[in-house]
Amino acid sequence: MTVLDRRRFLELCAAAALAPAAHASPRLRVVVAGAGIIGAAVAWHLAKAGAAVTVIDRDGPATHASRGSFAWINATWSKQPRAYHALNQAGVAGWKRLQPELRLPVRWGGSLEGSADAALAAELIERVAEQRDWGETTRLVEPAELATLEPDVDFSALRQVVYSANDGATDPVAATRVFLAAAVALGARAEYPCELTGVALTAGRVTAVRTSRGDIPADRLVLATGAAADAGRRFADWDLPQRDEPGATAVTTPMPRLIRRVLWLPGVHLHQRDDGRIVLGAEAGPPPGEAHVLRLQAYPNVFPEREIALQHATRMSAAAQSFVPGLAALEFEDVRICWRPMPLDGYPVLGASPARPDVYLAVMHSGVTLAPVVGALTVQEILGDAAVEVLKEFRPDRDFKASSGH
Ligand SMILES: Cc1cc2nc3c(=O)[nH]c(=O)nc-3n(C[C@H](O)[C@H](O)[C@H](O)COP(=O)(O)OP(=O)(O)OC[C@H]3O[C@@H](n4cnc5c(N)ncnc54)[C@H](O)[C@@H]3O)c2cc1C
């Protein structure tokens, strides 16, 4: 990827976000397939720019990755290389820009990333320098300050802790609903359950979108269908190579405040929302064993039984309790298995299908962080004809090389 100057990148993002509506006349009719955080943010930006928008989802809003997401909003060191890091920085800036306008539920306060491993601790020191070069305020934190930043957390087993003050976390279900409600308030239609089943074309141009509720006349289709790996081939005539990456999260009942920031700790990550609910994420995948392999083959979006869900939650809470002793006897409201929308090389796919110019692909991981900037930038491409320069690294026709990053 080419190296982008951060200031130039953020200027371009801000210019795109503030640009006047790019829609052509007559009003373009756009169907957004997928009502996760990406489809919701894109729909709101489109409606705001004057398009006639219909959002559909075969299950309902925020029912897949956007429901089970850990929902950390960040541009930390693992977001490599520079161009991808800069896109994430623009995502964080986008949340800060939109939060007052839409009343998005974000808790800011930064993140603390700890390492007990000597090699990783050494790497963190190098990465802090890189983060600062790239415009972040990231720094190493000493024990005395940790006691102030997180008085209820025991960091004594860790060698190194890094503080990234810019980060936050959201409630991804609530945030998705806020974007959708704001889109509807601007005239967008939302239909659920409504499955995208096909695309009607005349001379290669989209004229309607076929759905389980009938045809919807349309000029453009946005595929914000997340981890649905066959959507590219079926609707964009373009294969989008993705890899399978399940992840588990657990949400507790509301609790008195114990955690003030996002904590990324060995084996577990957690944060506590403003409503008191603690969100836990597992760092490792499922424990080895044939039962897991068999279960995952069916791409489940829920655990098959409450008991199995609770086993996963208990594993996460035991890891968390070793750092936060106050986390005893947790009650869980929701324990989820979800599939990350993960293009094969780990980077977002953003752009019109090379085979169908009216079908726009918007599939990515770190989609919670990226939703505001993706909405702001893609609307320029979906409604206007100009290609947004900063998205050129993320096109669907790039050479995908398998990687396990991001
Ligand atoms: C465990 C986990 C932890 C994560 N942690 C973070 C994090 O900390 N920070 C971060 O930034 N990102 C994180 N992510 C990634 C982030 O959650 C996703 O990138 C983001 O939610 C993707 O949103 P989406 O709208 O693209 O996909 P989804 O939320 O999956 O939505 C896609 C929607 O498309 C619908 N759909 C699919 N096919 C059709 C069809 N044919 N017709 C109609 N509808 C259809 C589905 O029903 C679904 O609702 C995490 C993901 C997981 C799974």
Residues 343 and 349: beta-carbon distance below 8 Å: yes
Q: Is 398 exposed, middle or buried (0-12, 13-18, 19+ CB in 10 A)?
A: middle
Q: Is the shortest distance between the CB of 343 and ligand 1 below 6 Å?
A: no
**Torsion angle of alpha carbons 7, 8, 11, 12, nearest 10°?**
-150
Whether the upstream peptide bond of residue 81 has omega within 30° of 0, thus cis, is yes
Q: Is the shortest distance between the CB of 175 and ligand 1 below 6 Å?
A: no
172: closest CA among 266, 95, 97, 85? 95
Helix and strand tally (H, E) in the chain?
A: 11, 20
Among 244, 340, 370, 394, which residue has the most ligand 1 atoms within 8 Å of its CB, making it the best to mutate? 340
Q: Is the pLDDT of residue 2 over 80?
A: no
How far apart, in whole angstroms, are the C-alpha atoms of residue 381 and residue 46? 11
| Average pLDDT over every residue of 41-69 | 97
Which residues have a Cβ under 8 Å from the Cβ of 218 and sit 6 or more positions away?
A: 29, 30, 31, 54, 206, 207, 208, 209
362: closest CA among 371, 10, 17, 354? 371
Q: Is the shortest distance between the CB of 70 and ligand 1 below 6 Å?
A: yes
Residues 172 and 370: beta-carbon distance below 8 Å: no
How far apart, in whole angstroms, are the C-alpha atoms of residue 183 and residue 45? 8
Q: Is the pLDDT of residue 286 over 80?
A: no
Which residues have a Cβ under 8 Å from the Cβ of 306 and sit 6 or more positions away?
A: none
Q: Is the shortest distance between the CB of 65 and ligand 1 below 6 Å?
A: yes
**Full 3-state SS string of 21-32:** CCCCCCCCEEEE
Among 64, 74, 279, 316, which residue has the most ligand 1 atoms within 8 Å of its CB, making it the best to mutate? 64
According to the model, what pLDDT value does residue 211 have?
A: 98
The chain-wide mean pLDDT, for the chain, equals 92
**Phi/psi at 74 (5° precision):** -160, 160
According to the model, what pLDDT value does residue 11 have?
A: 66
Please state which of the ranges 27-31, 83-87, 366-370, 386-390 shows the lowest mean pLDDT.
386-390
Q: Is the pLDDT of residue 321 over 60?
A: yes
Take atom 38 of ligand 1 and give the residue whose Cα is closest.
225
How far apart, in whole angstroms, are the C-alpha atoms of residue 216 and residue 170? 33
pLDDT tens digits, one per residue of 147-176: 999 999 999 999 999 999 999 999 999 999
How far apart, in whole angstroms, are the C-alpha atoms of residue 110 and residue 378? 28
Please state which of the ranges 18-22, 32-36, 161-165, 207-211 shows the lowest mean pLDDT.
18-22
According to the model, what pLDDT value does residue 206 have?
A: 98
Q: Is the pLDDT of residue 271 over 50?
A: yes
Instruction: Give me the half-sphere count of Cα atoms (radius 13 Å) on the Cβ side of residue 7.
Output: 1
> How many other CB atoms are found less than 10 A from the CB of residue 164?
23
Q: Is the shortest distance between the CB of 374 and ligand 1 below 6 Å?
A: no
State which ligand 1 atom lies nearest to the alpha carbon of 367.
19
| Average pLDDT over every residue of 24-42 | 91
Mean pLDDT highest for which of 5-9, 103-107, 299-303? 103-107
Q: Is the shortest distance between the CB of 375 and ligand 1 below 6 Å?
A: no
According to the model, what pLDDT value does residue 24 have?
A: 46
| Average pLDDT over every residue of 319-347 | 94
Any bridge partners for residue 215, and if so which? 210
Write down how long the chain is. Answer: 406
Distances (CA, A) of 39 to 167, 217, 307: 23, 18, 33
pLDDT band at 325 (very low <50, low <70, confident <90, very high): very high
277: closest CA among 336, 330, 325, 339? 330
Take atom 39 of ligand 1 and give the residue whose Cα is closest.
225
Q: Is the shortest distance between the CB of 66 and ligand 1 below 6 Å?
A: yes
| Average pLDDT over every residue of 92-108 | 98
According to the model, what pLDDT value does residue 285 have?
A: 65
Residues 167 and 76: beta-carbon distance below 8 Å: yes
pLDDT tens digits, one per residue of 192-230: 999 999 999 999 999 999 999 999 999 999 999 999 989
Question: CB pairs under 8 A, 24+ apart, for 306-312?
Answer: 309/250, 309/335, 310/335, 312/248, 312/250, 312/282, 312/337
